[in-house]
Amino acid sequence: MSLGRIACLGGLYSNYLALEAALADIERREVDAVYCLGDLGAFGPFPDRIFPLIKQAGIECLQGNYDDSIGHELNDCQCGYTDPRDNHFAQISYDYTLANTSTRNRAFLRGLPKQIRLRLGDQSLLLCHGSPRRVNEFLWESTTSTHFLTAICEAHDCEMIAATHSGIHWRRELPGGRNFVNVGVLGRPENDGETRVWYTLLDGRKAKPEIEFIPVCYDYQRLAREMKDEGLPEEFCDTIVSGWWTTCLEILPSKERRAGVW
Amino acid sequence: MTTTPDHSLAHHDHDEIPCVGIDRLEQLWFQVAGTRCNLACNHCFISCHPRNRSFGFLSLNEVARRLEESVPLGVREYYFTGGEPFLNPEMTNILVETLKYGPATVLTNGTVLRETWLEQLRRAEQESIFSLEFRVSIDGFTAEWNDPIRGKGTFERALAGVQRLVQFGFMPIITAVRTWEFADDASVLEAFMNVLRERGYARPRIKLLPTLQMGAEVQRTSGYSDNDLVTREMMEGFDESLLVCNSARIVTDRGVHVCPILIESDDSLLGQTLESALRPFPLGHGACTTCYRYGAICSNSVRLRPADSNGTDKVEKAE
């Protein structure tokens, strides 16, 4: 079966308020299906609040590295950071999320697929978390050559790849009508000084597929308040209210790092 | 030229040496300044020196030819090393050309950077969708620490280079070879960060590197022993993608070699074309154990995972 128009949500990071706002927005846009590309938990408060929203909206989910870790109760999130400070904060987030995800929801995460392949219009679309070859691979816009993306499309026999994981939306048109898109994340802002978060619409109804990045405004002050009340680090709350990343910075290439203030 | 003694292959059964294949060529390195360097650091793993011309410069034409060759192979990013890359008179134009193809990283000692070059490179990076990363080698956060290793006056000269890069909007990654105990990493890093901030680098990035017991380092401390070998048993369950040779090759004026560390070893030259050099390589060198222990020595990941004291830890695949 071929789909016409779909919504792709990147990492939710337990941001149930942004998910509610995004779903309300999607409701008005007439999409054939909604997909989440993984990392349902992390960073935010009350991880279990995500699951009823997903089930009620019929969202098909992939298993991100976080979901694999929580589902299998591993020791860390497998995000792939290399810096001690980044890992310190990642561990606080992970320990909180694991402790607050129910047994039933862990089982749900455990059973999610790693990838989904579907037809969008007349194109073959591969949905994945980090990259088609590695769940926790960071594909940044400034450090990923176009011919590399083309080769990955060819290796995985698809015309379009949609991924998330790195937390900043971007797209690249590839030779031969192919496309790569990072759909962004709903979980936290994009290190641009704005509190909004993003999801992506993919439209295959025309000869050339259309990719539209959609900003989502939500009650970020409430989220920050709840994070604080839950004892999550002040640095995380600062990110939510300022739009600037305060942690997990060392993994950023210089172009993406320079765009932020920390 | 000081060649690296090859302990392993001479003394061990070849069947015992694990081979690592390459799934895809992702990082393409260029030994762009050959073995020529304006400094003569006493820990240099390939014995680079002002008078060492055993490997020559790569021309802009040669690099451009290799960039074209890399496109159908799907190379993701490009790295430039030496010697000191900026001794190559075509270095700036080489980086400008590379940024048309993909992200570029240049490993420099920071002592010879000119403002006209940096202005040209800043413009090229702004016009490109790709990052240009500078990695500047400084091996201690004081002159007393750094200069005995890298040469008199090099601490101040390198810091001046860092300041210049920052003035031109770059965020250099400072690389420091760990000549202290693992346990002191945190305090050394903090001191290093403070020095860099005092010099105007507000958001310093630092990558710590292990020493490689080869080249000039053999005289400074010691070489690898016959027992420093990666075994088949060590490779069981190990994530090969952590090894440089699983995803990288390096071009010199002699051809295409397996990795940036081993270019002076005879068996490292794998072919004349990129494609012909994409064959498995036996991990028969002491330096392979360092790569095994620390992973990502050569890539830009800022800071490396710490290995345990006996180096037998394994990193499992995330997937």
Task: Render each residue's pLDDT in chain B as its tens digit; 319 residues.
Answer: 334 444 444 445 566 899 999 989 999 999 999 999 999 888 888 778 898 889 999 999 999 999 999 999 999 999 999 999 999 999 999 999 999 999 999 999 999 999 999 999 999 999 999 999 999 999 889 999 899 989 999 999 999 999 999 999 999 999 998 888 888 888 898 999 999 999 999 999 998 888 788 777 777 777 888 888 999 999 999 989 889 999 999 999 999 999 999 999 999 999 999 999 999 999 999 999 989 988 767 887 644 444 433 333 333 333 3
| Among B23, B129, B201, B305, the residue to mutate for chain A (most A Cβ within 10 A) | B129
Q: Closest residue of B to A154, CA-based?
A: B74
Q: What gap in Å lies between CA B245 and CA B259, rounded to an integer? A: 6
| Among B68, B76, B95, B247, the residue to mutate for chain A (most A Cβ within 10 A) | B76
pTM check: above 0.90: yes
Judging contacts by C-beta atoms under 8 Å, the chain A residues touching residue B131 are 142-143, 253-255
Q: Among partner residues B73, B130, B301, which is closest to A82 by beta-carbon distance?
A: B301
Contact B171 A258 (CB under 8 A): yes
B304 at A interface, C-beta within 8 A: yes
Look at residues B80, B284, B283, B305 and name the one whose alpha carbon lies nearest to residue B178: B305
Judging contacts by C-beta atoms under 8 Å, the chain B residues touching residue A78 are 318
Contact B101 A147 (CB under 8 A): yes
Six token digits for residue B305: 């995972």
Judging contacts by C-beta atoms under 8 Å, the chain A residues touching residue B171 are 254, 257-258
Q: Minimal Cα–Cα distance from B175 to chain A, Å?
A: 14
B68 at A interface, C-beta within 8 A: no
Q: What gap in Å lies between CA B314 and CA B298, rounded to an integer? A: 19
